[in-house]
Chains A and B, each alone.
Chain A
């Protein structure tokens, strides 16, 4: 069956360090993968999209990699700040225009 797994429910890091979140999937062949940020009681906010033919994408302090052989995406936040604390969701396109989401990883950045 199709499955999306994000490495852990929660990740605690110190301010200034790089946070690395993992998204693994099985039985999918996504054309693209997206990362979203979700704060408590709020809807997800789009961060980055990476396509199957792209290895890496960057946006300010964010970097996403996509390895279709390993069926894995890594999401990095460099120089992390307490304001980066949130739940981060990965999502795959699972059909024409539809997305399937992972459960998310809650990131806590301590001062």
Chain B
């Protein structure tokens, strides 16, 4: 149980284009989903916390207009990287909590974004 999927698993795009990444909880309803970014040999950095039906809360230094997050249902959250640049190339990982009050987060397999 508690399986989280991400799509696509990898994407290559041209500079200036937008890329959408989907995060789905497959066998549970996720009231809260999280988006992380991880650069090589670095720790996971939390970008934003997303609650179903409300606006995402972004961490300091993360541009909300560049990284658009939509949590339209209890099983789906999307991250759109707008006007992508090479410095946005990274490994993007989502996670989900099964319910309020649960401390464990279950992670998706990640999406490798390469911006040319």
| Interface residues of A, Cβ cutoff 8 Å to B | 4, 9, 31-32, 34, 36, 41-46, 49, 89, 93, 97-104
Contacts and interface: CB of A to CB of B under 8 A. Distances in A.
B82 interface: no
Contact of A99 (B4, B42, B105, B108): B105
Interface in B7-52: 32, 34, 41-46, 49
Contacts of A43: 4, 6, 93, 95, 107-110
Given A43-B108, A46-B105, 19 more contacts: A4-B43, A9-B41, A34-B103, A34-B104, A41-B110, A42-B110, A43-B6, A43-B93, A44-B107, A46-B104, A46-B107, A49-B104, A97-B32, A98-B46, A99-B34, A99-B46, A101-B45, A102-B43, A104-B43
A100 B105 CA distance: 12
Contacts, number: 52
Interface of B: 4, 6, 32, 34, 41-46, 49, 91, 93, 95, 97, 103-110, 112
3 closest A-B pairs by CB: A43-B107, A101-B43, A103-B43
Contact of A89 (B32, B34, B44, B46): B44
A98 B42 contact: no
A41 B112 contact: yes
13 contacts: A31-B103, A41-B91, A43-B4, A44-B107, A46-B105, A89-B44, A98-B46, A98-B49, A99-B34, A99-B46, A99-B105, A100-B46, A103-B42
B103 A46 contact: no
B44 A45 contact: no
B93 A97 contact: no
A93 B49 CA distance: 14
A104 to B, nearest CB: 7
B52 to A, nearest CB: 13
